[in-house]
């Protein structure tokens, strides 16, 4: 993960902030115009490597490892007391700071609104349209979330949602099952479809 900003939106794209969903790999790993094979997404709630993951690893693929426990965390956290509420102002700035200084945010609860975005048929993000830049294909400033909600009837880029959850670090596993660099996401304790869309395009 890059630990500095060169250009706000360019860095956001490289780390997942400006989403395109056009490549086969996890959106957070993608540099512009890069396609380097397939990634098997592990939709699980523990750090254990599943049989499906082992098969993917045996084929030389990397695996996305999400580590969380929704049931335990829903009982533990009070969703009426949120550490960070992302508003219309400094939306992109806040998301970029999560990537740049994640150690300051890990484990904090967040509430964020935006469009429901579904990338590569397996990754879910919340985001808004942002300033254009050469690498912001799709034009969204977004952040990944992972949960157990039924989103099958939602429309990507059209359904407006509110995500409440915990900032977490997942990890990529290589074909030997060893962790590579981390990726960041929200453990979604609650995802709500809202009746009206908010500010769909942000400027900062």
Q: According to the model, what pLDDT value does residue 180 have?
A: 73
Q: According to the model, what pLDDT value does residue 31 have?
A: 30
Reported residue count of the chain is 204
Residue 66 lies in a domain: yes
Residue 188 lies in a domain: yes
Residue 118 lies in a domain: yes
The confidence band for 13, taking pLDDT boundaries of 50, 70 and 90, is very low
Residue 29 lies in a domain: no
| Residues 48-87 pLDDT 10s | 444 444 454 455 456 788 888 999 999 999 999 999 999 9
pLDDT at residue 106 is higher than 70: yes
Count how many domains the chain has: 1
Residue 17 lies in a domain: no
| Residues 133-181 pLDDT 10s | 544 546 889 999 999 999 999 999 999 999 999 999 998 877 766 767 7
Quote the domain boundaries for residue 59: 40-124+144-193
Residue 14 lies in a domain: no
HSE (side-chain half, CA atoms, 13 Å) at 2: 19
Q: According to the model, what pLDDT value does residue 17 have?
A: 60
DSSP 106: T
Residue 134 lies in a domain: no
The confidence band for 131, taking pLDDT boundaries of 50, 70 and 90, is confident
| 116 contacts 127 by C-beta, under 8 angstroms | no
Structure tokens at 29: 């790993």
pTM of the model: 0.72
Residue 139 lies in a domain: no
| 62 contacts 172 by C-beta, under 8 angstroms | yes
| Average per-residue pLDDT for the chain | 75
pLDDT at residue 28 is higher than 90: no
> Phi/psi of residue 128, each to 5°?
-135, 160
Give mean pLDDT, residues 114-125. 91
pLDDT at residue 19 is higher than 90: no
Alpha carbon 160 to chain centroid, angstroms: 16
Q: According to the model, what pLDDT value does residue 61 have?
A: 59
Q: According to the model, what pLDDT value does residue 62 have?
A: 64
HSE (side-chain half, CA atoms, 13 Å) at 166: 19
The closest alpha carbon to 101, from 28, 26, 15, 170, belongs to 15
């Amino acid at each position: 993960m890059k630990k500095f900003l060169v250009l706000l939106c360019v860095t956001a794209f490289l780390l997942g902030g400006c989403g395109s969903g056009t490549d086969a790999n996890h959106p957070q790993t993608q540099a512009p115009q890069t396609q380097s094979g397939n990634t098997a997404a592990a939709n699980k709630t523990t750090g254990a490597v599943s049989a499906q993951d082992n098969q993917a690893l045996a084929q030389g693929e990397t695996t996305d490892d999400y580590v969380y426990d929704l049931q335990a965390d829903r009982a533990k956290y009070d969703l009426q007391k949120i550490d960070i509420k992302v508003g219309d102002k400094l939306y992109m700035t806040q998301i970029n700071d999560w990537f740049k200084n994640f150690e300051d945010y890990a484990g904090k609860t967040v509430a964020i609104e935006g469009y429901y975005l579904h990338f590569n048929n397996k990754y879910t993000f919340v985001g808004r349209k942002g300033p254009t830049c050469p690498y912001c294909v799709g034009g969204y400033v977004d952040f990944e979330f992972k949960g157990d909600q039924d989103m099958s009837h939602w429309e990507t880029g059209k359904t407006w949602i509110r995500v409440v959850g915990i900032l977490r670090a997942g990890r990529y596993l290589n074909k030997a099952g060893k962790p590579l660099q981390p990726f960041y996401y929200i453990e979604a304790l609650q995802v709500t479809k809202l009746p009206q869309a908010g500010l769909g395009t942000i400027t900062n």
